[in-house]
Chain A
Amino acid sequence: QVQLVQSGAEVKKPGASVKVSCKASGYTFTRYYIHWVRQVPGQGLEWMSIINPSGGSPSFAQKFQGRVTMTRDTSTSTVYMELSSLKSDDTAMYYCARLQETWLAFDYWGQGTLVTVSS
């Protein structure tokens, strides 16, 4: 069965970086784009970025340009999202999600990774 399994919760200090992983299984990794969506506690969903596991340049929401780095490892079917220069308002749950290419919607989601930024 399709699964996206994310790395565990992180606590970081302001100014630090965090790297979150999303390991895919149960399908051909290179066939589906992976997106990252975050959710500040008690608030709504915010799209961050997209990566094509087959290759090519990732794309980002403008507010994250310059702070987000997306990489992938096809040997382990894993996508990584690194967010730098962390601020307290980056405290959020970070989700990876698979874009179903025919439905043009996110059909599978990771379980989420809570990143807490605190001094």
Chain B
Amino acid sequence: EIVLTQSPGTLSLSPGERATLSCRASQSVSSTYLAWYQQKPGRAPRLLIYGASSRATGIPDRFSGSGSGTDFTLTISRLEPEDFAVYYCQQCATSPLTFGGGTKVEIK
């Protein structure tokens, strides 16, 4: 099973600041199979990034993804009030599909 470790667990930032979220895999994952999701309280997750770096439909360009192998990053260039949420990385390269433990981006 591929374990995804996200860091930090919580990121305290102000609107307008840059957020950098990390996702590290226990073994190499093809970037094709790495996605990022945003989840707000009481809501289902929403797909942000697929293929490690491609934005899903309707996702603002302040969200970007990068990385390869075992290290992946989600960057939010300038935080908007609606971006404060929990973010998960996920791999579907091998079964079982796995998610990272999440990074909470909270208002400082």
Name A's B-contacting residues (CB within 8 A): 35, 37, 44-47, 59, 61-62, 95, 97, 99-100, 103-107, 109-112
Contact = CB atoms under 8 A, between A and B. Distances in A.
Contact of A109 (B45, B50, B95): B45
Interface SS of A by simple majority:
strand
Contacts of B45: 45, 95, 97, 106, 109
Contact of A44 (B50, B51, B96, B100): B100
B88 interface: yes
A44 B90 contact: no
B102 A44 contact: yes
B35 A106 contact: yes
Given A99-B92, A103-B56, A112 B44 contact: yes
B99 A105 contact: no
B13 interface: no
A112 to B, nearest CB: 6
